[in-house]
Structure 1
């Protein structure tokens, strides 16, 4: 009996759906002024109210099941109109409140309607509205996700175009800057990071990590590298950038010199790659091009440096692996400590005389004096080139003879 009364009530309201939609739209418009809902045209809002009311009332009459697709389409439309989801939800609450008031007003015209029927009608109506609202929110989220994916694809394509050094006219450069969220003029820098495996990011969440420090950036993943264009708003940003990179890098990372014009990004990428190769192989070294002239010089011409290594360090490279690494590590520590045997000894946990003995063996084997500027320069460049080149697995040699 109650179900028939609900069906009859819904049928009567369905005959007035046009007028109810107008009133509902007006109520929503009046109650949503502070919720950015004015971007929705009046005719469109009224049509949406007519769709929702008709959908719910036909379901209450028992004619058809509720059509959630219509709600999903409206949710998508609001997302495309950039109406915030809280504003959409506010409009729905206002609309549902009006709907229930309309049901109560119609019910009071019929003296035979009892409280049991109103309870049943309320229950049925809220079930319907829950389904409609859920479909609307789902459609809204789907549209937002699609737009974000499309925007990310656009950003990725623009980053790739800039990194490849494609020529851009002024309008294209302005558009690229707008989409990437950076100014047209820099300074900028390019970051090149080795990936741990093909298709794996070297610096996951790099953009978010930098954004927390107020640094804007855009990134692109290639099979062998992850590349980023970073806007350096202040001189301190470069320090913050390198700090973040050193905290999170697990492979080599290179940072290009700064540049002012986005159209020079391709050129900066070449410098970033050279700086990346300037770091020690199989390490998380972060090499800033302008801060590491010896490293980038050694990485700039790998084929030339391979011959330099053979010429300068060939006698050391010919030693068993243990002896070779012991001497090269000692030479590396000596350079890092500014040519101080005492400081190098502290780093290596040996006596300073042990360091001097190893350095003497290096000088004897290579024919380069560690007191002659030319010999020091040649050894430094050759050592950098060795460190930058990944070593294939080799048999382990003894280290007993290196200090003898």
Structure 2
């Protein structure tokens, strides 16, 4: 739309100034010199544009692009053909495919426009086809024409850049999927995957598995860009139920940075595998990451590292078995009214998290230490497992992990309150 408006403004300006005939004659003369002018402009672009960017453009191709733009502009000015912005868009797409940065392309266009204007002025003075006053009046129309050509180039550049980005993301996603599925890949395929992902073949790596909030929705939006800003390379794949990532840990600090990013952005459970060195073992790492993810609290955005959470991992590793264990150990408590059940389970969880200290658990729960001790006695009475017996503690802890890992299990009342009457200090 913008390009069409510019073309319309150009035609209107030429007609309003009454100099279309003079400009047409001048443009016709310059068309006879288009080959010479194209060589001159291409040489100027080569001299000004950074060689590290434009050296990828063959000399013949650059000269031909200059020729095409000159013919396009001069034919429009002479009335021989309408302005064709698609020609400029093709050049823009080509430069994007050649990885020439857009600022470098814009620099080349500025050089070209300046050279074109100088050629127009020089020819007008040499031939006297257009007087100074008429040339000044026509200048705005000529610049509008150049704006239309430049906008066409930029539009084509952005289209090609977007297509390349999309194609690159699809390729990255497909390679991540192949690695995660543990497909048999030969050495060359693994090296190619590493190259596309921007990582070495040898790690250490880790796999991240994150629950998604809904089908097709990301669990960790923009996580690749966030990690990239921390100089951490990664590749991600979105599945219907999970968002999965392969993360390259260049330094020991990267794992800590990854943990901070995940904890800051996690919406639901996230699991992180043990580190591994060979990309071919990514499928095994994914299984560990999934187990770690299931080991987190189903009602929170918990980030669980496989190596740091043996109890949670052990519970999540055999969900069917642990469901039976949880039923056998905590079944009597699960059968209590919701308020009483949640208070006892929250107390057991806080006491365990505080290293078996009733005093520290009381601070976390905002109750008296004797209240914690009384609740622990009630747990022992209901389950037959004592919190002073190592075996009893182990069974209670495993069963509690299994309960917390079950979706839709949430406390209905604050941990400091109960559904029944109990003394504040036992």
Q: TM-score, normalised by structure 2?
A: 0.91
The residue aligned with 2:419 is 399
Within the alignment, does 1:235 sit opposite 2:235 as a pair? no
1:206 aligns with 2:226: no
1:393 deviation in Å?
8.5
Is it true that 1:283 corresponds to 2:285 in the alignment?
no
Q: Helix, strand or coil for the counterpart of 2:268?
A: coil
- Contact 1:256-1:272 within 8 A present in 2 as well: yes
**Within 2, Cα distance between the matches of 1:28 and 1:330?**
74
Of 399, 402, 411, the match for 1:382: 399
Structure 1 residues 395 and 29, CA, compared in 2 at 3 Å: closer, same or farther?
closer
Instruction: Report the 3-state secondary structure (helix = DSSP H, G, I; strand = E; otherwise coil) of the residue aligned with 1:75.
Output: helix
Q: Which residue among 322, 327, 330 is the counterpart of 2:339?
A: 322
Q: Does 1:7 find its partner at 2:62?
A: no
In 2: Cα distance, 1:395 partner to 1:191 partner:
31
Structure 1 residue 124, shift from structure 2 partner: 2.2
Tell whether 2:248 aligns with 1:248.
no
Name structure 1 gaps, 5 residues minimum.
none
For residue 220 of structure 1, report the CA deviation from its aligned partner: 1.0
Describe the superposition over 1:244-281 as per-residue Cα deviations: whole angstroms up to 9, x where unpaired. 11111121111111110111111101110110010111
Q: Which moved more, 1:394-403 or 1:364-373?
A: 394-403
- Give the deviation of 1:213 after TM superposition: 2.0
What is the Cα deviation at residue 32 of structure 1?
Answer: 2.8
Counterpart mapping for 1:4-403 below 5 A:
4-32=21-49, 34=51, 36-111=53-128, 113-391=130-408, 399-401=419-421
Distance 1:323 1:101, change over 3 A: same
Contact 1:323–1:401 (CA under 8 A) maintained in structure 2: no
What is the root-mean-square deviation in Å for CA atoms of aligned residues? Answer: 1.9
Mapped partners of 1:336, 1:392: distance in 2: 19
Given that 1:68 and 1:132 are in contact with CA atoms closer than 8 Å, whether structure 2 keeps it comes out as yes
Shift of 1:162: 0.7
The offset of 1:64, in angstroms, is 1.8
**1:35/1:371 Cα in 2 relative to 1: closer, same or farther (>3 Å)?**
closer
Q: Report which stretch shifted further, 29-38 or 353-362.
A: 29-38
Quickly say closer, same or farther: Cα 1:402–1:228, change in 2 above 3 A. Answer: farther
Q: Is the 8 A contact 1:2 1:116 kept in 2?
A: no
2:208 partner SS: strand
Match of 2:15 in 1: none
- Cα distance change on mapping 1:33 and 1:308 into 2, 3 Å: closer
CA drift of 1:121 comes to: 3.1
C-alpha contact (below 8 Å) 1:305/1:385 kept by paired residues: yes
Q: 1:109 aligns to what SS in structure 2?
A: helix
The number of aligned residues is 404
| Unaligned stretches of 5+ residues in structure 2 | 1-17
